[in-house]
Amino acid sequence: MTMPVLELRDVSRTHGHDDALVRALDHVSLAVAAGEFVAVMGPSGSGKSTLLNLAGGLDAPSSGDVVVEGNRLGGLTRSSLAQLRRRSIGYVFQNLNLIPSLTAAENVMLPRELDGVPIRRARREALAALAEVSMADLADRFPDDMSGGQQQRVAIARAVVGDRRLILADEPTGALDSNTGEGVLRLLRTRCDSGAAAVLVTHDARHAGWADRVVFLRDGATIDETPPLDVPEALLAGGRTP
């Protein structure tokens, strides 16, 4: 088996001390390989967001190791972590993913520009990423002039631009109607099928159906892990490797 894109090894995250101790994540281990789409489910407060924050290096575990593309995050400096997010990890959140004062293209360009890529090349790459999510026409629109679904597509384009291999999505469909939500998931599925790894936090069992695997969390601990369900839509989307 090839090296997983993301690996959590016995990761815990606690807040506070003693009586006020909160175990946001409790000895969780998880490996996501390239091309794999993993859904994380669980009730509110079960530690889903904490897991994603740890996976992206926004938060540091109290114990255990997080490894992204072979890099142990605990051993990295803040700026190396930032570099990892520019080059390897893409985030998509529930809403307000985009910077309102930047156009769609500029939002997508941002990680590349922060990485020092010259503006013209960054824009070329951004337009290509937008084209992949069928948003090329709206490249110069501001987020305020786009629908929620369109905004999420732009967010996904930004999460993958620069050939990033790990997509962390925290309820990306939470603010969308179900049709639009399906579209966003189909897009994530496609990215995984073309080689990326994705972790999707969701409430919705139907959405989990797009995933290869579902991890259930409760009170910060993994309680179950299922093999993928066969969902017709997923097959219809095509291109899925068995």
Ligand X SMILES: Nc1ncnc2c1ncn2[C@@H]1O[C@H](COP(=O)(O)OP(=O)(O)O)[C@@H](O)[C@H]1O
Asked if 60 interacts with other proteins (CB under 8 A), we say no
Asked if 116 interacts with other proteins (CB under 8 A), we say yes
Asked if 44 interacts with other proteins (CB under 8 A), we say no
Asked if 49 interacts with ligand X (CB under 6 A), we say yes
The span from the CA of 195 to the CA of 33, in Å, is 9
Can you count the helices (H) and strands (E) in the chain? 8, 10
Question: Which run of H or E residues covers position 170?
Answer: strand 166-170
Asked if 118 interacts with other proteins (CB under 8 A), we say yes
Question: Interface residues for other proteins in 141-160 (CB under 8 A)?
Answer: 158
Helix, strand, coil abundance in the chain, percent, nearest 5: 40, 25, 35
DSSP 239: -
Sign of CA pseudo-dihedral 240, 151, 179, 223: positive
Asked if 45 interacts with ligand X (CB under 6 A), we say yes
The nearest distance, CB 236 to other proteins, in angstroms, is 32
Residue among 43, 74, 119, 140 that touches other proteins (CB under 8 A): 119
206 interacts with, out of other proteins, Mg ion, ligand X, none, CB within 5 to 8 A per kind: none
Whether the CB-CB separation of 63 and 10 falls below 8 Å is answered with: yes
Whether the CB-CB separation of 94 and 104 falls below 8 Å is answered with: no
Residue among 8, 48, 138, 188 that touches ligand X (CB under 6 A): 48
Question: Interface residues for Mg ion in 44-63 (CB under 5 A)?
Answer: 49
- Residue numbers of the site for ligand X (CB under 6 A)? 15, 22, 24, 42, 44-50
